[in-house]
Copies of this chain bind each other. A is one copy, B any other.
Amino acid sequence: MDDVFAHIDAHAEDYISLLQRFCHQPSIAAQGVGMQEMAQMVKAELASLGANPELVDTRGGFPVVYGTLAGASNRTLSFYNHYDVQPADPLDEWDSDPWAAEIRDGRIWARGVADNKGNTVARIAAIRACQAVRGELPLNVKFIVEGEEEIGSPHLYNFAEDHPEMCAADACIWEFGGRDIDGRPQIHLGLKGICYVELRAKGARHDWHSSVATSVPNPAWRLVWALSTLKDQNERVLIPGFYDNVEPPTDAELAVLERIPDTERERLDNLGIDGFLQGLSGVELAQRDYFQPTCTISGFLSGYTGQGSKTVLPGTAMAKLDMRLVANQNPHEIYRLLRQHLDEQGFADIETELLGPGFPARTRFDAPIAKVVAETYTELYGQEPVIYPTSAGSGPWYQICSQFGIDACTAGVGHGRSQAHAPNENIYIDDFILGIKHIVAIMDRFAAVQAE
């Protein structure tokens, strides 16, 4: 592998340039900005690898960029990535233009550089390096690069239903991964599900002079009252049936939690807060993080929100609710329970819309791909990775992998302060180059695994 690694080091500038070019192109699925341009850019790169890429229709969503490459063994490894990114706002909290991909202090700073363009380019670069040095790949490779991950992959079910053969693989390397806040590599063996809902209340036909508030309904109050019935101050979700399918951790899972390093102080410092909710710490905190669902107000807008005072009665109010689900919660069922609860509590007037449901998913601890990723992490990074039973985040692991019995595992170029979804998103250049090598090592090692 040393010859491939030397080639990667010699061509580092090319890979960095390609990543910057990817980051210069905004691709915000939530706002429909730059999506076609970005899909074409990914397609062109896959074409240059000889992957015969195509834009696969998803019946109403942004297309999946799909490509395949034949290799020396009959084993197949798929890479799941996404070409969309989060919106960049609040813009005034960025130290440099989120689309400039500025290099500063050994890092690249850009919206999407960690989530997920750094990993997409690392995987392309790994293939290119293998091809250049050896003329062939050790196994068959598939690229599944979707365009709606940041809005909850609403059309990826269609893709998987229409093209199960495109999903078929012996294992999958998931889109994200990398080091924790202390630089230790991490492996995640699952994802949380998500049920993301927009709630809307309406009052008068527009914002009105607030003097009429004596007798005119206020949609902001309606929404505050409705939300206050969803979760109590002890963080207990009050929607009847919400916890019914939540599975407590097994003894094996609890044992994994015990081995997760204590990064609480660093996390608190990074977040800028004094303590975790309800003073949680240790294994209790880890159980909450990895085995408990959430119910989060992600946004709330009503009335006048500028400087100073404006005495209005709002005409509308809107809230976004982000519920992260754990095995075996079903996002469609959770949405139904939410709607039923609102109706029963007298909030039938509040409109709800389900945006991007996602199922939770889990890969078993002893899956071959988990072993391969762990061993190669240890060899390349000089440290054993920390294994997490699930990521705290969400994604379409179920659609692309679990529903077909495909094991998946994370491996990537991020780090504990990559600021995914936040201002000043970044990755270290050294991690990016190491991540390219890691993909080469994973391909070599997984090609050698005996079929079960």
User: B304 to A320, Cβ gap below 8 A?
Assistant: yes
What residues of B have a CB within 8 angstroms of the CB of A298 in the complex? 210, 220, 303-304, 309-314
* Chain B proximity mask over A379-394: 1 for CB below 8 Å, otherwise 0: 0000000000001111
Cα–Cα, bound, A244→B288 (Å): 45
Report the interface size class on chain A: 35 or more
- Shortest 6 CB-CB distances between A and B: which pairs? A205-B272, A228-B228, A30-B308, A211-B392, A301-B305, A220-B297
Asked whether A106 is an interface residue with its Cβ less than 8 Å from the other chain, the reply is: no
Of all chain B residues, the one with the shortest Cβ separation from A281 is B215
Asked whether A292 is an interface residue with its Cβ less than 8 Å from the other chain, the reply is: yes
User: A213 to B296, Cβ gap below 8 A?
Assistant: yes
Within 8 A of B (CB), among A257-301: 271-273, 276-277, 280, 285, 288-289, 292, 294, 296-301
A280 in complex: contacting residue of B215, B292, B392, CB < 8 Å:
B215
Cα–Cα, bound, A33→B302 (Å): 23
Asked whether A221 is an interface residue with its Cβ less than 8 Å from the other chain, the reply is: yes
Of all chain B residues, the one with the shortest Cβ separation from A203 is B273
Cα–Cα, bound, A296→B219 (Å): 10
User: B297 to A224, Cβ gap below 8 A?
Assistant: yes
Asked whether A89 is an interface residue with its Cβ less than 8 Å from the other chain, the reply is: yes
What residues of B have a CB within 8 angstroms of the CB of A215 in the complex? 276-277, 280, 285, 288-289
* Chain B proximity mask over A176-220: 1 for CB below 8 Å, otherwise 0: 000000000000000010101010000111111111111111101
Asked whether A97 is an interface residue with its Cβ less than 8 Å from the other chain, the reply is: no
CB distance from A272 to the nearest CB of B (A): 3
Asked whether A251 is an interface residue with its Cβ less than 8 Å from the other chain, the reply is: no
Cα–Cα, bound, A209→B267 (Å): 13
Asked whether A307 is an interface residue with its Cβ less than 8 Å from the other chain, the reply is: yes
User: A311 to B421, Cβ gap below 8 A?
Assistant: yes
Asked whether A225 is an interface residue with its Cβ less than 8 Å from the other chain, the reply is: yes
Of all chain B residues, the one with the shortest Cβ separation from A198 is B309
Of all chain B residues, the one with the shortest Cβ separation from A232 is B225
User: A310 to B392, Cβ gap below 8 A?
Assistant: no
Asked whether A356 is an interface residue with its Cβ less than 8 Å from the other chain, the reply is: yes
Asked whether A233 is an interface residue with its Cβ less than 8 Å from the other chain, the reply is: yes
Asked whether A317 is an interface residue with its Cβ less than 8 Å from the other chain, the reply is: yes
User: B210 to A324, Cβ gap below 8 A?
Assistant: yes
User: A299 to B273, Cβ gap below 8 A?
Assistant: no
User: B216 to A273, Cβ gap below 8 A?
Assistant: yes
A206 in complex: contacting residue of B151, B288, B305, B422, CB < 8 Å:
B422
Within 8 A of B (CB), among A68-116: 86-87, 89-90, 93
22 A-B contact pairs sorted by A residue (CB < 8 Å): A30-B308, A31-B307, A87-B304, A89-B304, A93-B206, A208-B421, A209-B393, A210-B296, A210-B298, A211-B391, A212-B271, A213-B322, A213-B324, A215-B289, A220-B299, A298-B303, A298-B311, A298-B314, A299-B302, A303-B320, A312-B421, A312-B422
CB distance from A61 to the nearest CB of B (A): 12
Asked whether A38 is an interface residue with its Cβ less than 8 Å from the other chain, the reply is: no
CB distance from A424 to the nearest CB of B (A): 9
Asked whether A306 is an interface residue with its Cβ less than 8 Å from the other chain, the reply is: yes
